Structure 1
């Protein structure tokens, strides 16, 4: 028996190919769309200084997204500056530790300097809090003095889940960074 390829079969084949193409475009554009929501701008600086300071670059990217949405001239209500929202006093102190001479707080608007100082500070906090990411993020947001005070007054048998941490904003910040961090690792890692 000879199989005859007719017009009806051709239409089904074209429809199947179109469906496959649409699904492929959806998958590819879906990833593209998600990368627009979770960008990786300044990746050269992020990877360079994260590696130099032994910080996961996707953690750095997560902090930048949450803190400034990648806007290098961002200024918070409290005066934190730049991509990683570094307070001028913290920036000055870290600049001294890094022997960056002639530091001025306006330098925090420079993406490279901001990321260099921010990743060094994250690394410093990692050492101060034995790599406990919850405590590191709480200290980055709420201040290491506040985290130390909280650790001293709470029951030492509890995990560092921040449920009883006195600053609601800091608790929410830690949750948000962890959520964004998971997305960055899945999307780019």
Structure 2
């Protein structure tokens, strides 16, 4: 009984806050556009929809610039050391601080652009960002996962399949809220 009462009070508080500050403001709180100067700049430079970049940052780190995954990926867009080094060489960057939002977002956008050029399809790009482009190529070549070699019917990595759905959901929310 006590738990039900607390739950009802919480729901009433949330509804009251929603009425006071507005539904759209709550959505903007849940789907923020932090680091917008870097996201907007590098999204344009690398021909990306900024809403996709925000969606990936939200899924990867929840906008925590000091985030480190259990696999060692770092920063807002969870850049691995290999990708960091590859990007630094390709972009001729002298020094990269992967925890610095500007560097992290620049490399993340550069990498997304590379994946778009390689795969050309949003689902494949998102899957490759999480599961690796080599794995996506293998899955496309395997009739168990792709009947036409161009689209994935099944993603064999549960984490990557969930990630694709999460990023696409975030992406739709960002587009609805901000467009």
- TM-score scaled to structure 2, two decimals? 0.85
Quick one: distance in 2 between partners of 1:170 and 1:78? 14
Residue deviations 1:33-81 (CA, integer Å, cap 9, x gap): 1111111000010000000000100000000001000000000000000
Instruction: Choose 1 or 2 for highest CA Rg.
Output: 1
**1:160 deviation in Å?**
2.2
Equivalent residue number for residue 124 of structure 2: 135
Equivalent residue number for residue 123 of structure 1: 113
Quick one: distance in 1 between partners of 2:86 and 2:167? 24
Q: Which runs of 5+ in 2 are unaligned?
A: 1-17
Equivalent residue number for residue 178 of structure 2: 188
| 1:168 equivalenced with 2:133 (yes/no) | no
Following TM superposition, the consecutive aligned residue runs of length 4 or more in structure 1 with deviations greater than 6 angstroms are none
TM alignment of 1:1-189, pairs within 5 A: 26=19, 29-103=22-96, 107-129=97-119, 131-154=120-143, 155-157=146-148, 160-163=151-154, 165-189=155-179
**1:90 deviation in Å?**
0.5
Q: Aligned residue pairs: how many? A: 161
- TM-score scaled to structure 1, two decimals? 0.80
Quick one: distance in 2 between partners of 1:69 and 1:167? 22
Residue pair 2:67, 2:76 contacting (<8 A) in 1 also: yes
CA 1:28 to 1:161, structure 2 compared with 1: closer, same or farther past 3 Å? farther
Q: Which runs of 5+ in 1 are unaligned?
A: 1-24
